[in-house]
Structure formats: structure tokens, C-alpha cells
Amino acid sequence: MARIGKQAVQNSSVPSGRSRSALAAVSRSLLVIAILLTSGAGAMAQDAQDPANAEQPTTGSLEGGEVATAAPPETAAEAAEQTQKRGPVTTLPLPRFVSMKASVGNVRRGPSLTHRIDWVFKRRGMPLEITAEYQHWRRVRDRDGAGGWVHYALLSGTRTVMVEEDMLRVRARPEESAPVMAAFELGVVAQLGACIADWCEISAGGHSGWALKEKLWGVAPDELRD
């Protein structure tokens, strides 16, 4: 039985005057309301007449380099579902798992280069969970809950998982009685293959087999993969 050890460094953090009279105030308020109502009606009419002011579908780059178009929802129910479960940039599900493409990646407090760096991820291939999208930025978290905003170019759609049990036995078939092919140490990052209800096929260090899904981080409990 082969023993697969975890790689050296995991991700590390780098703390890189009152109004003159009540009557005057009421008069001014009524005047402001009248102005707002007039200008609001004019703006609504302009939007209705000028197609250039209509909201356009948003486009953005996916983690794998593809381009997606987010069509506007047709009903309120669809809008709610999209807001809760789909990314506004990619239209991909939220949350979802990806992996770290780069060997080093800055994790910022907000979605821009002007925000401070709170963390630095230092492990290529480590699984991450995307929880939000904004333009070219993705808010992610790791297995310990650490995270923030990273540029999408640092991420990959390739799926990996992290072993959450020391000496996790990987079997030849998705059965408890199947022969043990290898034992993976706690913290090993493995490539994710097929997944059924309770098992996933994983590989690392030249060894592969089936492991209980509950012992892995980076895959949803109800996720099925071919």
C-alpha cells in the first residue's frame, strides 16, 4: 500500500445650523419634491425612447478563459434565482469550487489592485471556493475559511480536493470492502475525478482510487461527476 505525503507549504498569510422657521423648511421640502417628480418623469421618458440607455447583457471571462453572456432574467423568480445561485459575470453557479492556477497569488480585501493584500496563497493546485464575482475578480476562500478577492487569471477550472483525514485509504472501487490502493496523508491535494453519491475518485503521486466524499474538501456533498 503506497503512502502519499502532503506537499511542503500550504497557503500562508501576509499581514502584507437648524432652519430659520418650520414653515420655510416645509416650503423648501415641497419644492424639492416637485422638482424631483418632474425630473424623474423626464428621465423615464428618455430611457423609454432611447434604446442606447437600455441595460445590456453583461459579459466576462470565465476561469477557463471562455466568454459567457449573462442574459437578463425574464421573470422575478428567475431574477431571484440568478442572484442567489449564479455569478453576475460568468453565470456559473455560486458557490463553486476551482483550483489555484498560479504558485503564488495575492488575496486582497476588495476587488481591485488598490485594496490591501490580506493573504498570499502559496500552493499551486489547492482547491478554493468562489463565493462572489465582480468584473475580473472572484471572492474565494480556502479550506480554513481564509480568503478574499483574487484576479480570475490566478484561478483554474481544474478540480482538486484536499484530504481531510490522515492516512485516508483510497480503494480500488467505491466500496468499503474493496482493496486499498494507497493511503493519503492529511492535507494532500489530489486531482478530482468522477464522483457518485458518497464516493469520489482521486489521484495524487501517481496513485489513484476511490475515497469517501466526506473525507475530502473541495467537492459539494451532493455533487455528481462523470
**What's the mean per-residue pLDDT of the chain?**
76
pLDDT bracket for residue 4 (50, 70, 90): confident
CATH tag, 59-156? 2.30.30.40
Q: pLDDT tens digits, residue range 117-165?
A: 999 999 999 999 999 999 999 999 999 999 999 999 999 999 999 999 9
Q: pLDDT tens digits, residue range 46-95?
A: 222 333 333 233 333 455 443 343 444 445 444 444 455 899 999 999 99
Helix and strand counts by DSSP (H, E) for the chain: 2, 17
Query: Considering the entire predicted model, what is its pTM?
Result: 0.67
Higher pLDDT, 71 or 217: 217
Give the whole-angstrom CA distance, residue 140 versus residue 120: 12
Topology (CATH) of 160-217:
SH3 type barrels. (2.30.30)
Could you count the other beta carbons within 10 Å of the beta carbon of residue 159?
20
Give the whole-angstrom CA distance, residue 103 versus residue 171: 30
CATH 2.30.30.40 domain span(s) along the chain = 59-156, 160-217
The amino acid occupying position 5 is: G
